Structure 1
Amino acid sequence: MNAFRIALNELRRLSAGTLPKLAMAALVLVPLLYASFYLYANYDPYGRLDKLPAAMFTSDAGAKDSTGATRNVGREVTGELVKSGTFQWHEVSEKDARDGVRDDKYSFAIGIPRDFSTALLSSGNFTPQQATITLTTNDANNYLAGTIAKQVADQVRKTIAEKVGGEAADRFLVGFSTIYGKISDAANGAKQLADGAAQLQTGQHQLADGASQLATGSSTLATGLNTLKTSTAQLPSQTQQLATGAGQVADGNQQVADAASLAASASADIQGKLDGYRTQLNTDLHNAGLSDTQVNGILAQLDQLRSPVDQANTKIQTANGDLAKLAGGARQVSDGAHQLASATPQLTSGIAQASDGANQLRDGAAKLNDGEKTAVTGTDQLASGANQLRDGLSSGLSQIPNPDDPTRTATANTIADPVAVTANGVASAGTYGAGLAPFFISLATWIGAFVLFLLIRPLSTRALTAGAAPLRVALGGWLSSAVLGIAQVIVLFAAVTWLVGIHIAHPLGALGFAILVSLAFTSVVHALNAFFGAVGKFLGLVLLVLQLVSAGGTFPWQTIPDALYPLHIVLPMGYAIDGFRHLLYSGASLQILGDVGVLLAYLVGGIVLSTLAARKHRVWTVSALKPELSL
C-alpha cells in the first residue's frame, strides 16, 4: 500500500455520505471565511472616515491683527473643517461636545477657546502667546478613534501654524517693501541735500575770498594811516607845507573813503548772498523730506558759523562811516589850511584817531577772514557729510529686499512651512486591507491546516495494521490534508482578489508560495497530531497563539519584546508573512529564497516527525488502544 493509496482512502472516507461531504467543504471554506471577511471588513477604513461622527465647537471671540482688521481665526478653522468632510463633523456647543464624547455619540471633539485669535495674532503686536486647541477623546468608545483624533488635531495645528505663519511672514516682507520705499525717498532727499551743500560750499568759498581781499585792503589802509600819523608828527613846524599838501591828503582820504565804501558794499553784498543761500538751503532741506525740527537745527548751525561774518560786516560799515567823516574832515583841512596852523594839535589828534580806527578796521577784517576760514571748513564738512549720507542710503537701499507679489507670497509660504516631505514608496500596499493581507492569509492558512485534522486521521490505522512502511504511512496521512489545504488557498486567493478586490503584483508566484505555505503548515500540524495524538491539537493551537504575537503581522516584528525575538526567528509564520509581502506588493524585492527555504525545511521536518510517529505507532500499547484523553 503506497502513500497515494493511503491518502485516497482517507479522502474517500471523508466523502462517504452527504454530511461528510458538507463537512469537508466546510473545512475548505474555513480560511476563506476567516481571511476574506476580515479583509473585506477592513479593506479601506480610512476611506470611510466621513462616517465617523466627530464634534467641533468654538468660543473664539476674535481679535484685531497688526493692520487693525478684525479676525476670527477660530471661526475660519471651524468652517474649513466642517466643510472638508473628512469626518462626519457636528458643530455643537462645548457642553454638548464633551457630553457626546462621554456618551459615545461622538468619537472625539475638537474645541477652540475664547482667546484663540488673540493668541495667534499676538506675535504681530510683539506680545507673543501660544494658542491652544482642545482635543477630547474617550478610549472607552474606541482606542483607534482616539489615535486618529490625535493625528487630526496635530494636522489641524500644523495647518493653522502654516496659515498664520504665512500671513505673518507676508506682513514682514511687506514691511521690508515699505522700508525700501521710505529709504528710497530718503536717498533722493539726501542727494538733493548733497547738491545744495555743494552749492553752499561754492558760495562759502567765494565769500572767504572776498573776506580775504577785505582783510588785505584793510591792512593796507591801516599801514597808510600809520604812515600818515608818523608823517604829521612835525606838522606844527610844517604848517605852510601842509596847506599845499592838504589837498593831497584830502584826495588820499577820499580814495581811502572810496575804498572803504567799496569794502562796505562788498561786505553788504556778501551778507545778501548769505541770506539768499540760507533761504535756498531752507527750501532744499524741506524738499528733501526733512522735518521742520531737522531743518531748523541745520540752519541754526549755519547761523552760528555766519556770526563772525555778521560781526565783521558791522565793523566794516562802522569803519566806512568813520572814513567818510575822515574824508570830509580832510577836505575841511584843505579848505582851512591856514586855520590848521593854530589847530595843529587837534589835527594831529584826529590823524591819530584815524590811525587807530584803521587799525581796528584791519583787526576786524582779519577776524572776518578767520571766521570765513572756519565757515569754509564747516561747509566742507557739511558737503562731505551730505555726500556720505547720500552714498550710504544709496548703498543700503540695494541691500533691503523688495520682492514682487508672487515672490513675496512664495517666500512667506516657505518661511511658514520650510520643510516638505517627498514620499518615495519602494513598495505600496495601497489600502489598509492590502497591508494586512499577508498576515491574515498566513493566519487563515494555519487555521485551515488546524481544522483539517478535526476530521482527518493523521495516520491510517489500516496501513499501520497492514505493516506498511512508516514513510508511506506518514506521507499518506499528510497528502490527504495537503490536497484539501491546496483547495483552501485556491478558494481563498480567488475570493481575496476577485471579491475583496486586493491587487496582487505577482499572482502566479503568490499562489505558488501560498500552496507552499499550506503544504508546510499542514505538514507541521499533521506531525503534531501524529506524534502527540490529542495533545498535538492543543500544541497546534499553542503554536498559533505564539505566532500571532511574534510573527510581526501588524506592527514591525522588531517592536515586540526582546524575549519574543527567538519565537519570530524559529516559527514559520513570520517567513510566510514576509514572502507574501514581497509577492503581493508592486515594487517589492523578490528575494524570498530564505522564506522558501525555511518553509521547505518545516515541510520536510514535519514529514520526518510524522514518519517517526508512524514507526512509533507500529507497536500497539494500552494507551494507544485506550487513550487517557480523546479530542
Structure 2
Amino acid sequence: MSALRMAFNELRRITSGKLPKLAVLALTLVPLLYAALYLYANKDPYAHLHQVPAALVVEDEGATAGDGTHLDAGREVAQELVDGGKFDWRRVDAEQAEAGVRDGTFTFALTLPADFSRALLSSGDFTPRQGVIVLTTNDANNYLGSTIANQVVAEVRRSVSVKVGTEAADRFLLGFATVRQKTAEAADGAAQLASGQQEAYDGAAQLAGSTPALADGAAQVASGLTRLRDSTGDLPVKSRQLADGARRVADGNETAARTAEDYAARAQELVNRLDAVNGDVATRLRALGFTEEQVQHVLGTLGEVRRPVDDANGKVQGAAGQLRALATGADQVADGAAQLAASTPALTDAVTRLTDGANQVASGTAQVRDGAARLRDGEQQLVDGANRLRDGLSAGVSEIPAPDDPTRESTAGTIGDPVTVRGISQTSAGSYGAGLAPFFLGLATWIGAFVLFLLLRPLSRRGLAAGRAPLRVALGGWLPGVLLGAAQVVVMFAAVTLVVDIRPVHPVATLAFLLLVSATFVAVLHALNALLGAVGKFVGLVLLILQLVSAGGTFPWQTIPVPLYPLHYGLPMGYAVDGLRHLMYGGTASGVGEDALVLVAYLLGGLALSTLAAYKQRVWTPSRLRPELVL
C-alpha cells in the first residue's frame, strides 16, 4: 500500500458521512476564524480613535505679554485638539473629568490649568517656569488607551513648545533689527564724536603750544615788576624832599620875574613903535607883490639897522620871559613835585600789589602750561578711543543680521522646531493590522495544524498491520494533514487579502511560504501525535504557548527576557513570522531563504520522528491496545 493510498483512505474515512464532512469544513475554517477575524478587528484601530471619549478641561485664564499682546494658549490648544478630531473630546469641568475617568465615562482627561498662559510667558519676565499639562488616566479603563493618551500629550507638548519657541525666536530676531538700527545710530554718533574729539585735540594742541610763551612772558613781567618794586622803595621820601626844594626855588623865581617884567615893559614900548614901522613897510611890500621871502629879506635888512635896539630889547624881553617862564615852570615843578610826593606812596603800594599779582599770574600760567600739555595728551587718548569706538560700531553693524520678513519667519520656525524627522521606510506594513498579520497568520497555521489531528489518525493502522515501510506509513499519515492544511491556508489567505484587504508585496511567494509553514507545522504536530499519542497533543499546545511569547510577533523578540532567547532560536514559529514579514512587506529574499531552510529542516525532522514512531508501532503492546489516556 503506497503512501498516497494510505492518505486517500484516511481522507475518505474522515469524510464518510454528512457530519464528518461538516467537521472537516469546520477544521478548514479554524485558521480563517482566528486570523482573519482578529486582523479585521485590529486592521486600523488608530483610524477609530475619534470614537474614544476623552475629557478636556480648560481652566487657563490667559495672560498679557510685555508688549501688550494677549495670549490665551489654553483655549488655542483646546481648539486645536477638538479640530484635530483624533479623540471624542468633550469640554467639561475638573470634577466631571475626574469622576468620568474614574467610572469609565472618559478613557482619560486632559487639563490645562489656570496659569498655563502665564507660565508660557514667564521667561519674558525672567521668572521662568514650565507650563503644566495635566493628564489623568485610569488603566482600569484601558491600558493602551492610557499609552495613546501619553503620546497625544507628548505631541501637544511638542506643538506648544514649537509655537512658543517660534514666537520667542521671532521676537528675538526682531530685536536684532532694533539692535542693528540703534547700533547704526550709535556708529553715526561715534563718528561725530570722533570728529569733534579731533577738533578738541587740535585746540588742545594749539593751547599747549602757546602757553609756554605765555608762561615765559608772565615770568619776565613778574621779574621786572619785582626789580621795579625794589628800586622804588625810597621814592616817597625823596619825592617829598624834592617838592620842598622846588617850592623854595619857585618863590625866588617869582620875585625875579616880576622885576624883569617891569623893565621889559618899558623896553617893549620902544620896540613896538619900531615894529609898527616895520609892519607898514611889510604891508606895502606885500601889496606890491613881493614874496614873503623878499619881504622877510627887506625886513631883515631893516632889522640890521635896528639890531642894536632889538638886541637890547630882545635881551630884556628874553630875560624877563625866561624869568617868567622859569618862575612859572618852577611853580609848576613845585606843584608837580608836591603832587608827586603826595601820590608816590600810592604808586609804590600799587607797584607792590602789581608785583604780587604778576607773580601769581606767572605761577598760574606755569600751571596752565602744564595742564595744557596734560589736556593735549588726554585729548589724544580720547581721539584714539573715539576712533576705535567708531570703527568698532561700524564693523559691528555689518555683523548684526538684518533678515527680511520671510527669512526671519523661516529662521524663527527653525529655531522653535530645529529637528524634523525624515522617515525612510525600506519596507512598510501600511497599517496596524498588516503589521500583526505575519504573527497571526503563523499562529493560525499552527492552530489549524493542531486541530487537524483531532480527526486525523497520525499513522495508518492498516499500513502498520500490513507491515509497510515506516517511512511510507509516516508519509501516509502526514499527507492528509498537508492537504487539509493547504486548504486552510488558501481559504485564510484569500480572506485576509480580499476581505480584510491586507495585500502582501509578493502575494504568490507569501502563499507558497505559508504552504511550507503549514506543511512544517503539520509535520511537527504529526510527529508529536504519532510518537507520544495523547501526550503529543498536550505538548503541541505547550509549544503553541511557548511560541506565543518567543516568536517576536508584536514587539521585537530581543525585548523578551534573556532566558527565553533559546526558545526563539529553537522553535519554528519565529522563522515563519520572519519570513512572512519579508515577503509581505518587501524585505530581502536572502532572509526568506534562510527561514525556509530552517522550516524544511523542521519538516524533515518531523517526518523522521514520524518514521521512528511508525517503526516502533509495528509491534503491538498492551499500552497501545488499551492506552491509559485517550483524547
Q: What is the TM-score normalised by the length of structure 1?
A: 0.78
Pairing 1:111–2:111 present: yes
Matched with 1:124 is: 124
Task: Give the structure with higher Rg (CA).
Answer: 2
| Structure 2 CA distance for aligned equivalents of residues 337 and 204 of structure 1 | 55
| CA deviation after TM superposition for structure 1 residue 573, in Å | 0.6
Q: Deviations over 1:215-244 (max 9, x none)?
A: 45445545655676788899979x9xxx9x
| CA deviation after TM superposition for structure 1 residue 126, in Å | 0.9
| Structure 1 CA distance for aligned equivalents of residues 343 and 388 of structure 2 | 62
In the alignment, residue 564 of structure 2 is paired with which amino acid?
A: L
| CA deviation after TM superposition for structure 1 residue 85, in Å | 0.9
| CA deviation after TM superposition for structure 1 residue 349, in Å | 7.9
* Paired residues of 1:180 and 1:401 also in contact (CA < 8 A): yes
| Higher mean displacement: 191-200 or 562-571 | 191-200
In the alignment, residue 128 of structure 1 is paired with which amino acid?
A: P
| Structure 1 CA distance for aligned equivalents of residues 432 and 51 of structure 2 | 17
Pairing 1:378–2:366 present: no
Matched with 1:532 is: 532
Q: What is the TM-score normalised by the length of structure 2?
A: 0.78
In the alignment, residue 364 of structure 1 is paired with which amino acid?
A: V
> Quick one: structure 1 residues 593 and 337, their matched pair in 2 at CA, closer, same or farther if it must change by over 3 Å?
farther
Q: Deviations over 1:299-344 (max 9, x none)?
A: xxxxxxxxxxxxxxxxxxxxxxxxxxxxxxxxxx9x9767666757
| Structure 2 CA distance for aligned equivalents of residues 461 and 572 of structure 1 | 29
In the alignment, residue 164 of structure 1 is paired with which amino acid?
A: V
In the alignment, residue 370 of structure 1 is paired with which amino acid?
A: Q
> Quick one: structure 1 residues 563 and 230, their matched pair in 2 at CA, closer, same or farther if it must change by over 3 Å?
closer
* Paired residues of 2:32 and 2:495 also in contact (CA < 8 A): yes
| CA deviation after TM superposition for structure 1 residue 428, in Å | 1.8
In the alignment, residue 423 of structure 1 is paired with which amino acid?
A: G
Q: Deviations over 1:429-463 (max 9, x none)?
A: 12111111110010011011111111111111122
> Quick one: structure 1 residues 227 and 513, their matched pair in 2 at CA, closer, same or farther if it must change by over 3 Å?
same
Matched with 2:286 is: none
| Structure 2 CA distance for aligned equivalents of residues 596 and 336 of structure 1 | 155
How many residues get paired?
539
* Paired residues of 2:225 and 2:354 also in contact (CA < 8 A): no
Matched with 2:406 is: 406
| CA deviation after TM superposition for structure 1 residue 176, in Å | 3.4
Q: How does 1:67-86 map to 2 (within 5 A)?
A: 67-86=67-86
| Structure 1 CA distance for aligned equivalents of residues 42 and 190 of structure 2 | 74
* Paired residues of 2:74 and 2:116 also in contact (CA < 8 A): yes
Question: Unmatched 5+ residue regions in structure 2?
Answer: 247-328
Matched with 1:19 is: 19
| 3-state SS of paired residue (1:454) | coil
In the alignment, residue 38 of structure 2 is paired with which amino acid?
A: Y
CA RMSD of aligned residues (A): 3.1
* Paired residues of 1:123 and 1:129 also in contact (CA < 8 A): yes
* Paired residues of 2:233 and 2:348 also in contact (CA < 8 A): no
> Quick one: structure 1 residues 337 and 370, their matched pair in 2 at CA, closer, same or farther if it must change by over 3 Å?
farther
| Structure 2 CA distance for aligned equivalents of residues 510 and 22 of structure 1 | 28
> Quick one: structure 1 residues 228 and 36, their matched pair in 2 at CA, closer, same or farther if it must change by over 3 Å?
same
Q: How does 1:176-215 map to 2 (within 5 A)?
A: 176-208=176-208, 211-215=211-215
* Paired residues of 2:43 and 2:431 also in contact (CA < 8 A): yes
* Paired residues of 1:6 and 1:476 also in contact (CA < 8 A): yes
> Quick one: structure 1 residues 229 and 543, their matched pair in 2 at CA, closer, same or farther if it must change by over 3 Å?
closer
Q: Deviations over 1:275-297 (max 9, x none)?
A: xxxxxxxxxxxxxxxxxxxxxxx
> Quick one: structure 1 residues 462 and 233, their matched pair in 2 at CA, closer, same or farther if it must change by over 3 Å?
closer
| Structure 2 CA distance for aligned equivalents of residues 222 and 610 of structure 1 | 141
| CA deviation after TM superposition for structure 1 residue 582, in Å | 1.4
Question: Unmatched 5+ residue regions in structure 1?
Answer: 244-332
Matched with 1:99 is: 99
| Higher mean displacement: 547-556 or 350-359 | 350-359
* Paired residues of 1:428 and 1:587 also in contact (CA < 8 A): no
In the alignment, residue 62 of structure 1 is paired with which amino acid?
A: G
* Paired residues of 1:228 and 1:351 also in contact (CA < 8 A): no
* Paired residues of 2:222 and 2:362 also in contact (CA < 8 A): no
* Paired residues of 1:180 and 1:402 also in contact (CA < 8 A): yes
Pairing 1:350–2:324 present: no
| CA deviation after TM superposition for structure 1 residue 388, in Å | 4.2
| Structure 1 CA distance for aligned equivalents of residues 601 and 233 of structure 2 | 148
> Quick one: structure 1 residues 378 and 232, their matched pair in 2 at CA, closer, same or farther if it must change by over 3 Å?
closer
| Structure 2 CA distance for aligned equivalents of residues 147 and 612 of structure 1 | 51
| CA deviation after TM superposition for structure 1 residue 109, in Å | 1.1
Matched with 2:546 is: 546
| Structure 1 CA distance for aligned equivalents of residues 152 and 92 of structure 2 | 18
| Structure 2 CA distance for aligned equivalents of residues 27 and 454 of structure 1 | 9
> Quick one: structure 1 residues 524 and 225, their matched pair in 2 at CA, closer, same or farther if it must change by over 3 Å?
closer
Matched with 1:624 is: 624
| Structure 2 CA distance for aligned equivalents of residues 626 and 370 of structure 1 | 138
Matched with 2:30 is: 30
* Paired residues of 1:6 and 1:477 also in contact (CA < 8 A): yes
| CA deviation after TM superposition for structure 1 residue 150, in Å | 1.1
> Quick one: structure 1 residues 588 and 68, their matched pair in 2 at CA, closer, same or farther if it must change by over 3 Å?
farther
Q: How does 1:313-352 map to 2 (within 5 A)?
A: 343=340, 350=347
> Quick one: structure 1 residues 466 and 74, their matched pair in 2 at CA, closer, same or farther if it must change by over 3 Å?
same
Among 338, 352, 365, the alignment partner of 1:368 is 365
Matched with 1:330 is: none
* Paired residues of 2:445 and 2:518 also in contact (CA < 8 A): yes
| 3-state SS of paired residue (2:57) | strand
| 3-state SS of paired residue (2:591) | coil
* Paired residues of 1:197 and 1:379 also in contact (CA < 8 A): no
| 3-state SS of paired residue (1:57) | strand
Pairing 1:603–2:600 present: no
> Quick one: structure 1 residues 17 and 546, their matched pair in 2 at CA, closer, same or farther if it must change by over 3 Å?
same
Matched with 2:585 is: 585
In the alignment, residue 12 of structure 1 is paired with which amino acid?
A: R
Matched with 1:298 is: none
* Paired residues of 1:340 and 1:347 also in contact (CA < 8 A): no
| CA deviation after TM superposition for structure 1 residue 627, in Å | 2.2
* Paired residues of 1:56 and 1:92 also in contact (CA < 8 A): yes
In the alignment, residue 198 of structure 2 is paired with which amino acid?
A: A
* Paired residues of 1:568 and 1:574 also in contact (CA < 8 A): yes
Matched with 1:136 is: 136
| Structure 1 CA distance for aligned equivalents of residues 91 and 228 of structure 2 | 113
Identity among equivalent positions (%) equals: 56
| Structure 2 CA distance for aligned equivalents of residues 349 and 104 of structure 1 | 120
Matched with 1:304 is: none
> Quick one: structure 1 residues 536 and 222, their matched pair in 2 at CA, closer, same or farther if it must change by over 3 Å?
closer
| Higher mean displacement: 355-364 or 79-88 | 355-364
* Paired residues of 1:55 and 1:109 also in contact (CA < 8 A): yes
